[in-house]
């Protein structure tokens, strides 16, 4: 079945630094990947839609200069949190759509980011 991996699974960084999260589709080519964020006791919230070879589309309220998304290949999308602050601490999870698989989005296991 379709597998999506994320790396790292958890990361701790100091305030003001940047951190990069990778999302890979392991056994299919994903033309579209999505990035979600989840704060404690809240629902998964869509941050942006990433299409291979083009600029990401960000949801309202998500700072595109702070959350840089690159989808340079059909199997890899990256999310870089720039100048991270404690309020960016959250659970970040990506999903990928297999064009041959219809509507289904396959989710990675998520990345827990803690900014100190």
Partner 1 sequence: QKEVEQDPGPLSVPEGAIVSLNCTYSNSAFQYFMWYRQYSRKGPELLMYTYSSGNKEDGRFTAQVDKSSKYISLFIRDSQPSDSATYLCAMMRGGADGLTFGKGTHLIIQP
Q: Check residue 48 and give left, alpha or beta (phi > 0: left; psi -120 to 50: alpha).
A: beta
Q: Which CB, 66 or 112, lies closer to partner 1? A: 112
Q: How far is the CB of 68 from partner 1 (least distance, A)?
A: 18
Q: Check residue 77 and give left, alpha or beta (phi > 0: left; psi -120 to 50: alpha).
A: beta
Nearest-angstrom CA–CA distance, 79 and 66: 10
Q: Which residues would be at the binding site for partner 1 (CB under 8 A)?
A: 4, 32, 34, 36, 41-46, 49, 59, 93, 95, 97, 102-110
Q: Which CB, 16 or 46, lies closer to partner 1? A: 46
Q: Which CB, 15 or 92, lies closer to partner 1? A: 92
């Amino acid at each position: 079945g379709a597998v999506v991996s994320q790396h790292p699974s958890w990361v701790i960084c100091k305030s003001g630094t940047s951190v990069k999260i990778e999302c890979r589709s392991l056994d299919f080519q994903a033309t579209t990947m999505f990035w979600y964020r989840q704060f404690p006791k809240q629902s998964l919230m869509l941050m942006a839609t990433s299409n291979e070879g083009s600029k990401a589309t960000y949801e309202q309220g998500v700072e595109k200069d702070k959350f840089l998304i690159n989808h340079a290949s059909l199997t890899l999308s990256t999310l870089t949190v720039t100048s991270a602050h404690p309020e960016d601490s959250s659970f970040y999870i990506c999903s990928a759509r297999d064009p041959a698989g219809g509507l289904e989005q396959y989710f990675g296991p998520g990345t827990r980011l803690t900014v100190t």
